[in-house]
Structure 1
Amino acid sequence: MTKRLKRSEFMMAYMIIITLACTVGGFFFGAHYMKTSIEAEQAAAMEAKQKEAEKEKLLREQKLYSEQDFIRFYYAVYAPVLEWKQAHFEAMGKWGSLDQKGRTEALKHLEKLAQQTLKELEKNVPLPTSPLLAQAHTHYTNSVRAYLDSMEQIQSDQNSNAATPAVIASGLTLSQNSWLTAQEMVYHSVAAWESAYVVKKPMPEAVPATVTTAQWKQYPFHYRTYLAAQFMSANKRWDSYNPEDLTARLDLLLSSSESQTLGIKDVAAAVKVLHATDAVHSGDFKKLSGKLYSVLNTPEIPLYK
């Protein structure tokens, strides 16, 4: 007679079968999941590549970053935020000479100006050929909103006589970060304009991790200025000057014998020298452009005039 399995043996066999089934099922599920993930990554990479190719095609055909978009963006977005930023740094520059009442009034004025600026930025600005400018508009709006959100704490610090320019700056981190992101996008768009309409060559596919002084000198002006905007972001430099001011100072330094004397090999080191010596100021580009740039093609906006 066939020996019947004991209950414990039957349960053991059953558990082994279930375990094997789960193992095999898990293997095939994992394989399917990995295959799906790889296919999704490949599809995303292909889509990104196609979008980049389409963008390059439109740039070559001069269908992106039209002069009209730059003019519209400048007057509707950039001019108001530059005026607000300038007012902020002018107030900080006078801070030490103001009494308690004067500082309180200065903060109220900055808050009012930020509110007016935000009202301007919340208007629709059609930028049909300039996706980076449209994104910059959003980030500048976020920057001003964050500034206003921080103002209550800053005014509280002022009431307790604890507000200094350094304390105020530390309370504006979110506003500064949004500004620097927007700034990169603006100067990236100008570099794209330069690529399409001036040099008629594609920009580098990726920004080099290290920019040597030799590389810097080979890049066209607006691409250098885009890199300057990136250096400002990397160093968290929300300052009174603009990226073109930093570019002009870098060009002046790197064309001099001083850079060789200092042993400067890359642009990051040059930026550190300029910051350490407080050598960059608002308006440096316009001050130095006649000396540095005999011919310079720019979008027809007052920023470069």
Structure 2
Amino acid sequence: MNKRLSRYDYLFALTFIFMLVLALGTFFFGLRMGQDRATAKYEELLFKKSEVQNGYSAYHQQYLVSYYHTIYQPYREFHKKWFEKMNELETNRTSDASATLKDLGALAKEKYNELSNKSMPDSSPLLQEGLQNYLKSLKLFSEAVGNIQGKANSTPSYDLVASMNNDAYLNEAKKFSLAAQKNYYDSIIKWNLADNPQLKQVDVGNPLSLKDWTPLSLSMKNEYISNALLNGKLFKLYTPQDLSSRIDEMVSSGQAKKLNLTDVHQVIDLLNATDAVRSGDFIRNKNRLYPNETLPQLPFFFTQN
């Protein structure tokens, strides 16, 4: 005669199954973490080995290209989506602002997790710093929109956008993004200098006349612009080379002279005040303004980013 299982027997069996599932889950989670850490460590070792074997400089083109594809481009995907969704909010083209912010927060977290497993060689501190600044930026974006999300649908779009523009955490996230951008363009100048030590440089922290701006290399102009964007807290969709090309266009067309503009920052202020810079302006102007420019083989110098 079969004996019926008691309540205690059922509880014991369920507890055993639960503990077994938990143990398996913990095992596979630990295995995944170990694999991710091993992959990151292996990539770092490959960087170092490649540097030694090939005698690469700290900012060799290989590192700039690797940074572009593994760090800059993933962040850029979030960057572009941010402006796309903010435009929807500003023009009241979304019926669920909370869902829009939720999606942005999720994307920021996704990109943060993606970049967390990346590394740059110790010999390239600017690229390492750029990675850390992008991580800080994404973390703050994710946390900030999460805090705002709950009240988004009860706030008029105009007021919501205004509130977000003044949010301390979002502004800090933008600052880290601009700092990372400057790190990258500083690295590009290092690459230029390794190939051409006589490259003319300027102090990016000082005012610069258009007369002194014009003969500079595009890389030097971009470094100057990346610093101006950081100091001016100008978080924009366009890239530094887009703005550089618009300044050069203003100079070459004679518009700057007609408007009595003599300083680079005067032109920057005018172009931003009139919303006269667009993502892709550099590609549009490249062949005409920079036919013989020496540039690293980074995609945003050859196709619209």
Which residue of 190, 193, 199 maps to 1:192? 190
Q: Against the structure 1 CA distance between its residues 62 and 205, is the aligned structure 2 distance closer, same or farther, given a 3 Å change threshold?
A: farther
Deviates more, 1:269-278 or 1:157-166: 157-166
Report the secondary structure of 2:150's partner residue: helix
Report how far residue 128 of structure 1 moved. Answer: 4.3
Do structure 1's residue 168 and structure 2's residue 164 form an aligned pair? yes
TM-score, scaled to structure 2:
0.75
Q: Against the structure 1 CA distance between its residues 301 and 128, is the aligned structure 2 distance closer, same or farther, given a 3 Å change threshold?
A: farther
Aligned to 1:55: none
Report the secondary structure of 1:218's partner residue: coil
CA-to-aligned-CA distance 1:274-303 (integer Å, 9 cap, x gap): 111111111111121122111222221212
The one-letter code of the counterpart of 1:184 is K
TM-score, scaled to structure 1:
0.75
Distance 1:122 1:257 in 2: 47
The one-letter code of the counterpart of 1:92 is M
Which residue of 126, 136, 160 maps to 2:120? 126
> 8 Å contact 2:189–2:219 — kept in the other structure?
yes
Aligned to 2:29: none
Aligned to 1:5: none
Do structure 1's residue 263 and structure 2's residue 257 form an aligned pair? no
Matches within 5 A, 1:102-121: 103-121=97-115
Q: Against the structure 1 CA distance between its residues 203 and 118, is the aligned structure 2 distance closer, same or farther, given a 3 Å change threshold?
A: farther
Which residue of 73, 76, 79 maps to 2:73? 79
Distance 2:137 2:94 in 1: 28
Aligned to 2:93: 98
> 8 Å contact 1:66–1:130 — kept in the other structure?
no
Report how far residue 215 of structure 1 moved. Answer: 1.0
> 8 Å contact 1:117–1:144 — kept in the other structure?
yes
Provide structure 2 residue ranges, at least 5 long, that are not aligned to the other structure: 1-54
Do structure 1's residue 272 and structure 2's residue 269 form an aligned pair? yes
Aligned to 1:41: none
Runs of 4+ in 1 over 6 A off after TM superposition: none
Distance 1:173 1:165 in 2: 13
> 8 Å contact 2:204–2:223 — kept in the other structure?
no
Aligned to 2:16: none
Q: Percent identity?
A: 26
Q: Against the structure 1 CA distance between its residues 217 and 62, is the aligned structure 2 distance closer, same or farther, given a 3 Å change threshold?
A: farther
CA-to-aligned-CA distance 1:20-44 (integer Å, 9 cap, x gap): xxxxxxxxxxxxxxxxxxxxxxxxx
> 8 Å contact 1:211–1:266 — kept in the other structure?
yes
Report how far residue 99 of structure 1 moved. Answer: 3.9
The one-letter code of the counterpart of 2:183 is M
> 8 Å contact 2:70–2:118 — kept in the other structure?
no
Do structure 1's residue 283 and structure 2's residue 284 form an aligned pair? no
Distance 1:155 1:229 in 2: 31
Give the number of the structure whose alpha-carbon radius of gyration is greater: 1
The one-letter code of the counterpart of 1:187 is Y
Report the secondary structure of 2:247's partner residue: helix
The one-letter code of the counterpart of 2:275 is D
> 8 Å contact 2:82–2:104 — kept in the other structure?
yes
Aligned to 1:210: 207
Report how far residue 245 of structure 1 moved. Answer: 0.8
> 8 Å contact 1:133–1:186 — kept in the other structure?
yes
**How much is the aligned-residue C-alpha RMSD, in angstroms?**
1.8
Provide structure 1 residue ranges, at least 5 long, that are not aligned to the other structure: 1-60
Distance 1:129 1:254 in 2: 38
Report how far residue 203 of structure 1 moved. Answer: 5.5
